[in-house]
Amino acid sequence: MDKIVSYKDVIDQLSDGMTIGVGGWGARRKPMSLIREICQSDIKDLTVVSYGGPDVGLLCAHKKVKKLIFGFVSLDMIPLESHFRQARQKNEIEVMELDEGMVLLLQHSKSRPNALQQ
């Protein structure tokens, strides 16, 4: 069974207003090539759940984010991702800042709906 999916196939499954979770931690292990494809698409008004880094910055810079649920948004050496900061200061996005552990539980509960009930 071939589990490889093209970026086009992934983008075709996304729609305006959808909630997406982005893996990785801060600036590390982010699916940046997929994030760039989302930025080049017509998709908008996303709710994004992420331990933010350059993924959040690019999505904010391309006006793809309606709401961001996050534990932090950092580029490690640069304490706050600049596109995110600008979008937040201009009130261009809704934000829900959570403790890092709560973000992890949220991501697990959305990916496995019965996980917290076991």
pLDDT at 93: 97
Q: Which domain holds residue 102?
A: 15-111
Nearest to 73 by CA among 87, 63, 62: 87
pLDDT in tens, 9-45: 999 999 999 999 898 877 788 899 999 999 999 999 9
- Domain presence at residue 9: no
**pTM, full prediction:** 0.84
Instruction: Dump strand ranges (E) for 14-117.
Output: 19-22, 46-52, 65-73, 94-97
Which CATH number does the domain housing residue 56 bear?
3.40.1080.10
pLDDT in tens, 49-83: 988 889 999 999 999 999 999 888 877 777 778 89
Token output for 63: 């006006």
- Domain presence at residue 101: yes
- Length of the chain in residues, anyone? 118
When divided into structural domains, the chain yields a total of 1
Q: How confident is the model at residue 1 (pLDDT cuts 50, 70, 90)?
A: confident
- Domain presence at residue 93: yes
Q: Order the strands of the 19-22 sheet from edge to edge.
A: 19-22, 46-52, 65-73, 94-97
